[in-house]
Amino acid sequence: MRTRVGAAALAGAMLLAMGLEASSPAAATAKTWTVRPGGAVAGKGGKTTLTDTKLHSTLTCISATLTGTLKPGSRLPGAGIGAITAAAFSCNGLLPVKLTALGLPWRLNLSSYGRQSGVARGTISHLRLSFSGPACTAQVNGTSGTAANGVVAVSYASKTGRLTVLPSGGNLHWNHVTGCHTLLGNGDPAALATAYAISPPQVITSP
């Protein structure tokens, strides 16, 4: 039986099919990058899901936002090309549920680029999240330690200005789970999925 931890209810049966963005053909490894215009950016997202992929329990938030910076210019290394300095999730519903971003600033790292699709791929690292609901608390991180070492896979499409957090390709796990009964399992793998419209739109390419 699949259970759901939502903003409207912490328990219930539901099968979630996550398909935010279809994977594009394999992209070529990129050594340097060009970012225009760079500088301060903001992201506005819609539905965000955070899933215990072993127990199939899902927290659904109605919206998400972020702010950060991107290095401008050309011949830039992909590691640490951007920083997310603030991130927030709106999970208000019938029951108080809160998802809090920890470990900020998160780092944006780019590693491959599809010239035909114009899609850059990489990771957001240094990520950690705290979840709290009625009689249920947990943390999401790469490991159970206090250091923020979570990683999620991301893609950015210059044509649409869309940054997508992909539900697979990361190392997230649920840790320090308390009072969540069979909804969340300590050490279970976690999957975060969302997408942001980036403003101002950025053109990110690799020669």
Per-residue pLDDT tens over the stretch 38-66: 999 999 999 999 999 999 999 999 999 99
Give the tens place of pLDDT for each residue, 83-97.
999 999 999 766 688
Nearest C-alpha neighbor of 186 from the set 194, 195, 196, 176: 176
Note whether 81 and 206 are within 8 A (CB): no
Which of 27 and 59 is assigned the larger pLDDT?
A: 59
Cα Rg, the chain, nearest whole Å? 17
Give the tens place of pLDDT for each residue, 108-165.
999 999 999 999 999 999 999 999 998 899 999 999 998 999 999 999 999 999 999 9
Q: Where are the domains of the chain?
A: 33-199
